[in-house]
Amino acid sequence: MLQIQTIRENPTEVIERLSIKNFDAKEIIHNILSLDTQIRQLKKQLDENLMEQGKIAKSIGLLYKEGKRAEADELKLKTAELKNSEKDIQAELSDKDGKINELMVLMPNMPHSSVPRGKSAADNEVVYEEGDASNFNYDALPHWDLVKKYDIIDFELGCKITGAGFPIYKGKGAKMQRALINFFLNSASENGYTEIQPPYMVNENSAYATGQLPDKEGQMYHANLDNFYLIPTAEVPVTNIYRDVILKSTDFPIQNCAYSACFRREAGSYGKDVRGLNRLHQFDKVEIVQIEHPDRSYETLENMKLYAMSLLQRLGLPFHVLRLCGGDMSFTSALTYDLEVYSKAQQKWLEVSSVSNFESFQANRLKLRFKDENGKMRLAHTLNGSALALPRVMAALLENNQTPDGIIVPEVLRPYTGFDIIN
RNA sequence: GGAGAGAUGGCCGAGUGGUCGAAGGCGCACGCCUGGAAAGUGUGUAAACGCCGAAAGCGUUUCAAGGGUUCGAAUCCCUUUCUCUCCGCCA
């Protein structure tokens, strides 16, 4: 959520910057500002009313002590009046508060100045490329055929047990998966991240604080009986560790990483995009989360991007890095880099990581603050990224490393797998 | 799941209807003391929001959360959440 002060102080700048995200904020800001003025007036009235009541209550106490019952009773009548008008003000205030809040949560985060204008994924800017992204000159098998050939991932069996999008990993497939998780977690630790094992279900407050609610309610699995949500990413529980927290400026940077299974309903997805491992309802991911001083958050974003890139380099996968355009960015992000690997058999780019700086947008809802050098309370900046999401990495490894003899396991994974070929 | 006890500031802990944002202690910050430190000693020690150009100042709110009783609630009542103890169940 944006801060009301920002909107109050620079409404035209906010409108201008949100237009890069193709969001027309003119009317909504006009309404917010008008509600804001009314709210502040009401607040003032309420404060005065309450002050009056408090004063009267005190003098009643004194009068009783002195035994002046009649005078006290007279004052009581006065409070009754005040209470009535308090009720009115209160009602109006909560009505307006509700309205302004409804509008505030509709406003996306403002994009960073480097974010290009654009409507869709086609307008994203390629900022880096590495590796051989050419296609095989023979008929390479897509991963959904390879996994059958070597019996390492079973989609049909997953359908039987749960449903589409819940594959079952078997034998070397399961071991590969575990090897990737361990490789990613160990690398993160070596790079200064503290490993966290979070809960896979969160309560309503947590889902709200990181912005999944009220926005993406239908995208999360919901355990009705207890009103818990299955996490769509470890970002949710890990970032919520810092909900309602006040940090010291010496606490920065906070670097956490977490492996978790992620659960997404992916309502509305269909077709080729969901084939095989490309889009699942349950998948594994290692997430990195940082909390930074506002002055250093963009430097940190670059480092996180470089770190995610280093994983792909070590796995030997061809990839490129995109700076997302305004139209393709998430609601909460100020700047996002996507990392995509090239899958030679499918002949397409697959997103395996998304690294974002949310600036203070999440921190505002989280109430994640710190005391700065001058002792002033300020919102911290939050950042996160996938390092990495497993299924598409797996898909690309299977497809790109296939040979007539089997699938070659990358060097860096062999200590974790205990084998060097899947055949 | 059953029975009971509890939730107070950064932490410990007092407070069972009025002047309580809350005693006392610890911690922390600054000062004095000291050659330097420790000890000692003095002062201070929350957040949100509003009034205000800013600061100062003032006001309101906050004793788990929400509701209620009352002129007045940390204190009484109800609901919820969480913690602890005992029993049951269980990896």
Nearest nucleotide to the CA of A61, by C1', is B18
pTM to 2 decimal places? 0.91
- Scanning A225-296, the segments in alpha helix (DSSP H) are 235-240
Q: What is the mean pLDDT of chain A?
A: 91
A50 half-sphere exposure, CB direction, 13 A CA radius: 9
Please report, rounded to whole angstroms, the spatial distance between the CA atom of protein residue A38 and the C1' atom of nucleotide B68.
Answer: 29
Q: Is the pLDDT of residue A67 over 80?
A: no
Q: Which residue ranges make up each domain of chain A?
A: 4-104, 121-422
Q: How far apart are CA A310 and CA A75, in angstroms?
A: 74
Strand B–CB A47 distance below 7 A: yes
- Give the list of residues 6+ apart from residue A160 with CB closer than 8 angstroms, or none: none
The pLDDT of residue A246 is 82
The pLDDT of residue A272 is 63
Give me the residues paired with residue A323 across strands.
Answer: A125, A337
Strand B–CB A306 distance below 7 A: no
Which CATH architecture is the domain A4-104 placed in?
Orthogonal Bundle (1.10)
Higher pLDDT, A212 or A357: A357
Strand B–CB A80 distance below 7 A: yes
Strand B–CB A174 distance below 7 A: no
Cis peptide before A232 (omega within 30 of 0): no
Nearest nucleotide to the CA of A50, by C1', is B60
What CATH number labels A121-422? 3.30.930.10
Q: Average pLDDT for residues A153-158, to the nearest whole number?
A: 94
Place A422 in a pLDDT band, splitting at 50, 70 and 90.
very high
Strand B–CB A96 distance below 7 A: no
Query: C-alpha distances in angstroms, A257 versus A2, A193, A340?
Result: 26, 6, 21
Place A271 in a pLDDT band, splitting at 50, 70 and 90.
low
Strand B–CB A53 distance below 7 A: yes
ipTM of the shown complex: 0.84
**Is it true that A4-104 and A121-422 share their CATH fold?**
no
Strand B–CB A69 distance below 7 A: no
Q: Is the pLDDT of residue A191 over 90?
A: yes
**Chain B positions with any atom < 7 A from a protein CB:** 18-19, 47-51, 59-61, 71-72
Place A322 in a pLDDT band, splitting at 50, 70 and 90.
very high
**Element of type H or E holding A408:** strand A406-408
